[in-house]
A and B are shown apart, each in its own frame.
Chain A
Amino acid sequence: MSGRVRRSGTCAAALALAVLACSGGDARRPGGPTLRWYANPDNGGQARLAARCTAEAGGRWRLEVLPLPSDASQQREQLVRRLAARDVSIDLMSLDLPFVPELAEAGFLRPFTESEGAPLAEGVLRGALASATWRGRLVAAPFTASTQLLWFRRSVAAKAGLPVGERPVTWRELIAAAERTSSTVAVQANRYEGYMVWVTALVASAGGRILENAEAGKHAHAALDGEAGRRAAAVIRSLARSAAADPALSTADEEAARATFQGARGGFMVNWPYVHGAAQAAVAAGSLDRAVLDDLGWARYPRVDDDRASRPPLGGIDLAVGAFSRHGALAVEAVRCLTSRESQRAYMLDARNPAARAAVYDDVEVRRVFPMADLLRRSIDEAGARPQTPYYTDVSAAVVRAFHPPREVDPERTPAAAARLVADVLLDRVLL
């Protein structure tokens, strides 16, 4: 009796703090426990996938999808906060690639054993697999993978006489072509994480890296202050100061770049593959002229150097199992189902997010919806990942702060300043 009183008292106190705290006890529900999957909001594709895997589980567990905030850094913030409080309700989570090392290093992710990991890693594209690995262990299961392509208006490229699509082109050629045709080269250079994507891809394409020995955590070496960093900065400066720059370059995100590209001065753009589906949807909805879609071309991400292949950006979502979940083994089973080749194929067709497994790109239906499937697969496989460090948020914010606004970037000064700022931020020598 006193035990019951105490328990209801505890429950009441917990209720006052967090309404959901006492809703547990689902383990007694007939048909096994409910696994909670904290997922980034999408078009409902993850929920449909969850329903399918729940059906396949035959009642041993069921998946419930709980939406995270729509902004990637807010997603991270919520997960970190909950996991720091050892939240047992996080069984599965969708993680943006760059945040995997941070959560893994903090012990928030349940690493997969060798036998669990093998089927999850089988046939996964190189960059996607590396991003899910931390200190030699698979800590997350690659689910989607993404990259940016060079999108161009065929008519503008033809008018400029630029053989884009036939051979690799450089940023210098692109800017010159856009200037010749009074069109624009749209990029993401707002003061946000998306600008880091561009900077990273430029540095990687010039043969450099943002960080060396990133696994050293806060003692990692900021390697921006080198030849590659200077050449990357030169590209940013020359675009920002050319007539090919969008007037709103310093606040441009993915959607702003897409609007510029589809507008009257649209010529070239680097952006994620969703823009293709978005253009089709806009035509279907009547908000975009059919001619713009017919004029849309795509090619490999531009080069920085004439003689060096570009390293396109790498994005994507991994699925991880919460370290404090009470149903770890079942959650691994769920991850296996959700990231299976069949699931990734279904999700690629449903949500239009490219898959992490190479074989999916051979599927006939996938190739019909993604005419650029081969280019995507190759770009993801040869992508240059953002620095894999537990301090990614800090590194990214420091680099963006040093490189913004793009007009003020100076090859002799900015990369060195960025490297200094990164080192200071990592060692708590400056506020950010």
Chain B
Amino acid sequence: MKREHPAALSVGARSAPESKGARERRLGWALTAPAFAVMLGVTAWPMLRAVWLSLHSWRLTDPAGREWSGLRNYQVVLSDPLWWDDVATTTLLTLVTVAVELVLGMAFAIVMHRAVIGRRLVRTAVLVPYGLVTVVAGFAWRYAFALDTGFVNGWLGLGELSWFGARGTALAAIALAEIWKTTPFMSLLLLAGLAQVPEELHEAARLDGAGAVRSFLSVTLPAMRTSLLVAVLFRALDAYRIFDTVFVMTAGAQRTETVSFLAYRQMIGRTALGLGSAVSVLLFLTVMLFAAAFVKVLRLELAPAGGA
């Protein structure tokens, strides 16, 4: 005998409430449909169009020269050293900034969490950089590092060091500006995680004779693992798409170009819609794959915790 779905069985038993439920579901769909359609229009449609554009050799300013080129644009991008150079630069910036932000963000989160006096003032002070527009922050740091208007060299006694004149120092300046700008975001996410750690756990650890460091490593960190992973994931996805700071501070000079900047230059600067779209789609796929892999790892670690 064919086994009925338990839900269907229970639904069959009570017919009147079921139809009400179905009506409500329908109403739910009807109410969300406009928002859903708008979302499709502003996200799915441009993405599909980018995929379609990436299959052409097409300049915006030479409409007559448009040609179908299949997957050739992807082959061109993936076999071009410039792409891999930019991928390396972007990965380096992502690794460095997210790592530093994680440590600093955790420190800030603890301060915000534990602050007894002036709690609101501390939280506001920590969050100010995140409230600034990235371009403004980029300019502020560009001027700070500049040879003519900057104070960094004066304060550190570095003389005439041209920060934007070489790759290493330029990347360091960009990373610093990014870290300054987005550490608050990281600490905000971590603060939420800290707040979820039950106070009893700390008390139990204290009774067992654990010090502050031991308690942090053995109790706090494991208890907020999910928040940590989410914070790192969010920041890594964001960091990999870095654009504004590079645009403002170096415009990609001294091999500081990132993948987003490469897409911008092909697409907007050269109006090469096909190649530019291919770069954008590849950037999107990279981020998607990273997110998918990360979520998968996250779930694997969550499963036993949830089951217990």
Contacts and interface: CB of A to CB of B under 8 A. Distances in A.
Contacts of A285: none
A38 B51 CA distance: 34
B256 interface: no
Nearest to A104: B61
Given A105-B62, A217-B64, A432-B82, 19 more contacts: A80-B61, A80-B271, A103-B61, A105-B61, A106-B60, A108-B61, A218-B59, A390-B62, A391-B59, A393-B269, A428-B69, A428-B72, A429-B76, A431-B76, A431-B77, A431-B83, A431-B262, A431-B266, A432-B265
B191 interface: no
A100 to B, nearest CB: 12
Interface in B43-60: 57, 59-60
Contacts of B64: 105, 217
A394 B270 contact: yes
A428 B61 contact: no
Interface residues of A, number: 24
A77 interface: yes
A149 to B, nearest CB: 30
A346 B37 CA distance: 57
A427 B61 contact: no
A77 B61 contact: no
Contact of A431 (B63, B69, B82): B82
7 contacts: A80-B271, A102-B61, A108-B61, A218-B59, A428-B57, A432-B266, A432-B270
Interface of A: 73, 77, 80-81, 84, 102-103, 105-108, 217-218, 390-391, 393-394, 397, 427-432
A81 B270 CA distance: 11
Interface in B64-108: 64-65, 69, 72-73, 76-77, 80, 82-83
Contacts of B138: none
B132 interface: no
Contacts of A77: 268-269
Q: Which 9 pairs of residues, A with B, have the shortest CB-CB distance?
A: A106-B61, A428-B57, A431-B80, A431-B82, A102-B61, A218-B65, A390-B62, A217-B65, A84-B60
Interface in B257-293: 262, 265-266, 268-272, 274-275, 279
Given A428-B73, A431-B77, A431-B83, A390 B61 contact: yes
A382 B47 CA distance: 50
Given A77-B268, A431-B77, A431-B83, A217 B275 contact: no
B257 to A, nearest CB: 10
A73 B279 CA distance: 22
Contact of B275 (A84, A108, A431): A431
Nearest to A101: B61
Nearest to A81: B268
Interface in B197-240: none
Contacts of A394: 270
A105 B76 CA distance: 26
Interface core residue of B65, B72, B275 (most chain A CB under 10 Å) = B65
A374 B285 CA distance: 60
